[in-house]
Structure 1
Amino acid sequence: MQSSELSVQGQNLIQLYNQYYRDKLIVDRRYQRKLVWTRDEKEKLIDSAINKLPIPLILLAQRKRAGVEIFELIDGLQRLEAFFSFMENKYSYRGEYFDLATTGDTLAKLHARELTQQKPVMSRETSLAIANYQIPLSIYRDAATSSIDEVFRRINSGGRRLSLHEIRQAGVTGPLADVVRRTSATIRGDGTFAEALTLSEMEKLSISRRDLTYGLDLDRIFWTRHDIIGAEDIRSSGDEEMVLDLVLDAVLDPWPTSGWQNRDVAYGLPRKITSATSEEVGAAINTIGVENLQQRIVAVIELLDDVMRDHGSLGRHMVHLESYERGTQRQFQAIFAALYELVFIDGLQPRSMDAIRGVLDNFWGRDLSIPTGGSAWGKDKKATLYPEVKRRLRRAFFKPEPKSAAVQLNSRLLIESYLSGPVNEDPLVELKQGFCVLSNPPTENVDLFDEVMQTAVGMANWSRDASGFILIGVADKPSAADRLKELFNVSPIEIHGQQVVGTSEQITHLGYDVDSWWRKWQSKIRSAPVDSDFRNNLAHSFSPIICDGKVLWIMKPRSTGKPLSYNQRFFVRMGASTHEMGTDEFLAHVALNF
């Protein structure tokens, strides 16, 4: 592990809140847990501050991102969020709210109407005591990403109130951890695109909403709405363990045993069993692609959600029981595995939502049985059960002719996650309306490919660990949406204030179908004048994605860890635009960010 300077000091909440106020405190979602503390836990922390009781040390890593100094939270996320949300009047302590006039930063937010003083107001003396509370702080300076990951893994591998999956996931990177984390977040509704968020942005992703006014509503999440996983299990990452099992079923042949030891081995942890290794699982995922696999899993989830829309709970529909002590995880897992094969392996399409719903009615109340309880679900049982489940579901599907490479399942959840947040100002996000110049008649935008490639390279050059996305099929301005309506009779779908217009009408106008257009652009990307590893990964990420019947295109440029040129020119994202740099300016940028 790289040697770095470690300093231990004390800072009061006023000082730490100032870093939070200036968006200097960053949460890396590759390894950090969700916000899960309940209101009771948060109030106990405030009680510790008032009574001057010690709390565990907060660990930060000092880093530079895009040339700006930031502090990455390694340990202490729940505690700091609890303090700061109290200081911002998000909850009370013994019925009283923090006095916003106590600190300069909270007062500034009050004057800017970013905060509202709730009542009754805590005394200034008590509020000041909280604001001056000394936090034990350790700052890990000049730390590499690999060092931070290792520190986080060691801190969280001691079993401190973490679930088996939280221990398994702590600090682990790679294709399996990536697809599990991203897919789980998208299904929960906290699938923001960014790998790193400011601490102030984390509150909207909190799943500790009970008795609080912010965060995600657990009762509205797919898993709880359909009686598959209980709310408390989601708090301890039971949904992520569910997604892990779905991923392993999807990519491994034959279907693997589902058990805690098998999951550990897939994550690279040593266990005395024979099971698919992390290398084997990673290779299987990479064959499909992390992004593509995520899209597939979310598409099957959305298919089942659409099947049951306005018809109640999927769990209660599959199993006609009144109570679910342990949910319907395994029943769902078997249904998912069958649907995944029918759609993505066999290339079938649903006859209708009614047809699937009819097959699923009391599906597990007939002559099918499924293992229950906490023990491992053996691969031998799956080998006999899954094909029978698939056979029964098959009658709700048909074989389309001709077979299309682009599977037409809805991925609105993914689009919603991509378009959440301030995408119009994000340097790692670019939205394009489509492939045509909106003249009359429309013509192909022959400059678009170069523009997209320059943007992709500019995103990769933003920093050593940059990861961006380009979405084609979203109007970049209202006038473009109006023009598409006029030229192609396109009715946009509004998602998070963005106008989703799709591209199928433009592609058809240019004489292509989705598959031929896909092949054309992938071929152009693979022959582009840019680093071969970068262009191959970029071509692999480029794919169609369906949102309520509209065809969009996603491209996800990632840094290769080194600066890139495109056609011997240097590009960097600056704000929401792509800027070409001369050699000296680019070298200065590289020195700051690589």
Structure 2
Amino acid sequence: MKSISVTNKNLDYGIPVENIFWVANNIITKEKLRESQDEEVIADIVAWVATDDGLRSSSDILDQLYGFNINDLEEATLANHIELQIQKINEEILISNIQFVFDTLIDLINKTEAKNLNSLLFPGGQQSKISRYFQIIFYSLYQLLIIENLEIINTKELLRLMKGAGGKIITLAAGGGNWSQKEKQTQTDAFIGVIRKCFAEKKVKDNSRNHWITRFENLLMQSATEQTMYDFKVGLHSLSENSELNHETFSQIIKTLTAMANTQPGNLGYCILGVADSYQTAQRFNDLYNQTNLNYSNFFITGIQSEAIKYHSNLDKYFTKITQLIKQQPISDRDKDYISRNIKTIRYFEKDIIILQIESGNIPSIYDNKYYVRHGSNVQEVLPQNFGDLFIRFNS
């Protein structure tokens, strides 16, 4: 667990608290983060976007949302209402929408010189408490990007309008405690009115390729505690000049995916192309392609576009080659179909990543007439005398 725990910068493991979104942008202090104020903000956001009329923010509203100290039917109704609204929207869609807005905001902040939301909103001097300002920004982007299905067409102008918006465009009453629904709505409407000209109707409907920042980071952190279900490859070509596509490496990837699928029914396994499995591998890749990787926690993100361009002319042809190779693999038609339908290209900042995914079926997955399982990072063949245990896992 120490690899995903929040630590200070003097420790060589875990996630430094200074790097966490809320602290890095001076939205929430380190002390308030440890008191779970980030969870309170997320609860406010979920409740707001899940309802048509929005909600005020207060400790008693949070108690009701979480079902604490409910003594009468009226209070219980709020929790049930929010749950019902989430079901109507669909939980996965709601999560995806919220992450999409987070990713958009993160991308905007990284395009500024300050790379800090507090400094962007208050360039004359950072404020100590801006979680409510953050929420107004978030609600405004959610309205335009999700509810109205628009896209940003003028990033430069949008950032110009956001600069100094705290205390000028967004003017919140002083103090803490109860935060009225009316102030939330009026301030959101005011900010939307100012920035709307920077948005227009979407030309491309699918944003999954361009906005995967939060989801991708979640996958990386999950791999720290579920190593069996994750594998990372820097690419499909050997790290030497003018190397051919390594078919053995690709076959090993597919074999590994079938081994992940044999862990137990209902599991999801991932192989992620464009993330080095070590610092040394990342450096070799960087030297070969004359580029610099990105770091997230203990992960080295190289992307695969350099390899794709050098050997396949572009990313689309590289992607097509992978789909063709899947069809040639000695696996079941069910697994071929699932892997092919769920392969995706995502963008993490300026890095393109390819994710291969498999889900356990109703029976164990087979590779070249053999069954494999994965223990940690090791793939092992299931011997005939152990077939019974393997099939019992799925029959039960």
Q: Which residue of 2 aligns with 1:493?
A: 293
- 2:158 and 2:48 map into 1 onto residues whose CA distance is 21
- The residue that corresponds to 1:455 in the other structure is 256
**Correspondence 1:79-478 to 2 at 5 A:** 197=1, 201=2, 205-206=5-6, 218=17, 221-249=20-48, 252=50, 254=52, 256-259=54-57, 271-274=75-78, 276-282=81-87, 284-288=89-93, 292=96, 296=100, 298-310=102-114, 314-315=117-118, 317-319=120-122, 327-342=129-144, 345-348=149-152, 351-352=155-156, 355-366=157-168, 368-370=170-172, 373-375=176-178, 377-378=180-181, 382-396=184-198, 405-406=207-208, 408=210, 411=213, 414-415=216-217, 418=220, 426-434=227-235, 451-463=252-264, 468-475=269-276
SS of the aligned residue for 1:239 comes to helix
Distance 1:438 1:343, change over 3 A: farther
Which one-letter code corresponds to 2:388 in the other structure? L
Query: Can you list the C-alpha shifts for 1:309-363, whole angstroms capped at 9, x where unaligned?
Result: 436x5335425786856x22221012123334555632335534xx444212231
Structure 2 counterpart of 1:386, which letter?
A: T
Deviations 1:458-490 (A, max 9, x none): 22433578665321112457679757865xx45
Unaligned stretches of 5+ residues in structure 2? none
Native 8 Å contact 1:427 1:573 kept in 2: yes
What root-mean-square deviation, in Å, do the aligned CA atoms of Structure 1 and Structure 2 show?
Answer: 5.2
Counterpart position of 2:380: 579
Deviations 1:36-65 (A, max 9, x none): xxxxxxxxxxxxxxxxxxxxxxxxxxxxxx
User: C-alpha distance in 1, partners of 2:260/2:348?
Assistant: 25
1:463 to 1:400, Cα distance in 2 relative to 1, 3 A: closer
How far residue 497 of structure 1 moved from its aligned partner, in angstroms, is 6.8
**Most deviating of 327-336 and 301-310:** 301-310
- State how far apart, in whole Å, the 2-side matches of 1:554 and 1:248 are: 32
User: Relative to 1, partners in 2 of residues 1:592 and 1:240: Cα closer, same or farther, differing over 3 Å?
Assistant: same
**2:376 is equivalent to residue 544 of structure 1:** no
Any gaps of 5 or more consecutive residues in structure 1?
1-196
C-alpha displacement of 1:286: 4.1
One-letter amino acid of the structure 2 residue matched with residue 254 of structure 1: D
Work out the CA distance in 1 between the residues paired with 2:67 and 2:18. 34
Deviation for aligned residue 1:238: 0.6
SS, match of residue 244 in structure 1 = helix
When structure 1 is superposed on structure 2, of 333-342 and 434-443 the one drifting more is 434-443
Relative to its length, the structure with more helix (as a share) is 2
- Size of the aligned set, in residue pairs, is 376
Q: Aligned-pair distance for 1:575? A: 3.5
Separation (CA, whole Å) in 2 of partners of 1:436 and 1:350? 38
Change (3 A) 1:351 1:528: farther
Shift of the 226–574 alpha-carbon distance from structure 1 to 2, 3 Å rule, reads closer
Q: Sequence identity of aligned pairs in percent?
A: 18
Question: What CA distance in whole angstroms lies between the structure 2 residues aligned with 1:411 and 1:210?
Answer: 23
For the residues of structure 2 that align with 1:484 and 1:212, how far apart are their CA atoms?
A: 27
Shift of 1:239: 0.8
Q: TM-score, normalised by structure 2?
A: 0.68
Q: Which AA in structure 2 matches 1:256? A: G
Q: What one-letter code is carried by the residue in structure 2 that aligns with 1:546?
A: R
C-alpha distance in 1, partners of 2:347/2:29? 30
Q: Map of 1:522-541 to 2, 5 A cutoff?
A: 529-530=333-334, 535=338
